[in-house]
Amino acid sequence: MESLRREAGAPALTAEVLTQALPYIQRFRGRSIVVKLGGAAMAGEMVDTFAGDVALLASVGIRLVVVHGGGPQIGEMMERFGKSARFVDGRRVTDSETLEIARMVLVGKINSGIVAAVNRHGSLAVGVSGEDARLIKAVQRDPSLGFVGEVAEVNTDVLERLLSMGLIPVVSSIGAGVDGQSYNINADTVAGALAAALRAERLIVLSDVGGLLGDIDDPASVLSEVSVSDLETSLASGEVSEGMIPKVEACLAALDGGTGSAHLLDGRQPHVLLLELFTDTGVGTMIRTEAPA
């Protein structure tokens, strides 16, 4: 009897959820949202869930740009080639051979996999490398890091044309210098730069972390909101761990460029993208220019 009551209440619960989502759908329709996909959110089953959510968002008129990383996959491929990864401040040191491995994994494998997953749900995703049509003009970040780049300029015309056609650009984080030299760029950095260039409504970063923690030793102490000034203070004081530095810097860059808000979410949580965008409470950590109320 109890199971029947639960089943009978399911349609009402669904209707309640959809009603709560309506004002957010209306708010975000026609707006650009940049989503960075990384970490465990890129595992096979989670990619399919993410792809379905992306298709749903696109179907209600939200202009989506997806940026993906691939650090663990690059590391695995490097091991196959007998190479060991080395990191400085969360960024992979990249020699010429590592760069070729990164391009092979990011462009040839991960990008095409995400595009195929989204297109299975009926949307029209298209894979784009930062090298394509000079989308991302890069400069070398630091000679000690090798072929690791920094975003110098974003060709927003490329993205705007794709978005105007109803397509979902899926961007791999490889850029090129004016001399044609390719550079591996941190995907968080690329996402922040694209969000700033598009003056996106939101930047959403999906990773293996649930958000910013009030107590680094307590995974449950996720902060729901932080201001830019508080985050800058934490970054300057060294409170932000190495792996989170590029993510925090990307969020700050996006907000500085005019993005409405930035969000750090746990990509391991199914449908976390929908929960953040379409519910009153949201999840993870929201970073905004003004202090939380």
Which residues are tagged catalytic?
A: 36, 39, 71, 188, 247
Contact 204, 33 (CB under 8 A): yes
b/e map 155-186, b = 16+ CB within 10 Å = eeebbeebbeeebbbbbbbbbbeeeeebbbbb
| Three-class SS of the chain | CHHHHHHHHHHHHHHHHHHHHHHHHHHHCCCEEEEEECHHHHCHHHHHHHHHHHHHHHHCCCEEEEEECCHHHHHHHHHHCCCCCCEECCEECECHHHHHHHHHHHHHHHHHHHHHHHHCCCCCEEEEECCHHHCEEEEECCHHHECEEEEEEECHHHHHHHHHCCCEEEEECEEECCCCCEEECCHHHHHHHHHHHHCCCEEEEEECCCCCECCCCCCCCECCEEEHHHHHHHHHHCCCCHHHHHHHHHHHHHHHCCCCEEEEEECCCCCHHHHHHHCCCCCCEEEECCCCC
Q: Residue 148: beta bridge partners?
A: 184
